[in-house]
Amino acid sequence: MVSILQTPLLAVSLILASSSPFRKEVLCKLGIDFDVVSPNIDESRKDGETPEQLVYRLAEEKAGEVAKTHNGLIIASDQVATLDSGIRSDDVILTKPHTHENAIKQLQKSSGNVVTFVTSLTLLNTNTHNIQTIVETFKVVFRVLSDQQIDHYLKKEQPYNCAGSFKSEALGISLFERLEGNDPNTLIGLPLIQLIKMLEHEGVDVLAN
């Protein structure tokens, strides 16, 4: 429960609509109480849908699905990684590799190139039906990597459930030339700076918790 600015004696439930342990870990940084509910939706990309349109839609659908059974402020997010390699990045989405072989192929493509993480964030107030949604990008410029370096990294960290085949908060940082973005939490999957602003619009001050 977190305190409300306008009426400090009241409280509101915060719910993270996600099955991602990484988003849960990021949200814990704010030191506020929240529940976690995994939304069950079809996350397939529609024909002609850009990465921005895809994550925007999925974040709102996740929040709406959880709102069917829970009340409060529902936080939802979605993320895709796109490879900027001189062709239309809209058509090159890097998914979770799931296997060592797929991860090798992804990192070989990313080597020496730029990967853009497109992350959406939705905050839905089930009492007022007010919904806020934004999309934020974060760029990762990869070093030129040898096949040996890629193989060594993957065997050591095994990031097979991570879009782009790396964990930026761990050894994955060694793969990068530089990072470009406003909030490093966006890269992990939950833009906290934007979330704090959204919560303030709902009268919630995380610093007053």
Q: Give residue 177's pLDDT.
A: 96
Q: Find the catalytic residue in 78, 84, 91, 183.
A: 78
90: annotated active-site residue? no
Task: Return the minimum-mean-pLDDT range out of 103-112, 186-195, 200-209.
Answer: 200-209
Mean pLDDT to the nearest integer, 187-192: 94
Mean pLDDT to the nearest integer, 56-80: 97
Reply yes or no on whether the pLDDT at 4 is more than 80.
Answer: no
Confidence of residue 12 (pLDDT cuts 50, 70, 90): confident
List the one residue out of 138, 208, 149, 129 whose CA is nearest residue 179. Answer: 138
Roughly what angle, to the nearest 10 degrees, separates helices 100-110 and 147-157? 130
Q: Give residue 139's pLDDT.
A: 94
List the one residue out of 77, 110, 111, 71 whose CA is nearest residue 93. Answer: 110
The predicted-structure confidence for 139-155, as pLDDT tens digits, reads as follows 999 999 999 999 999 99
Mean pLDDT to the nearest integer, 165-177: 91
User: One-letter amino acid identity for 103?
Assistant: A
Provide the percentage of residues in the chain whose pLDDT is more than 90.
75
pTM, rounded to two decimals: 0.87
Domains and CATH numbers, the chain: 2-208 (3.90.950.10)
List the one residue out of 93, 68, 91, 67 whose CA is nearest residue 78. Answer: 93
Q: Give residue 11's pLDDT.
A: 60
For residues 196 and 90, the model is more confident at 196
Q: What is the mean pLDDT of the chain?
A: 89
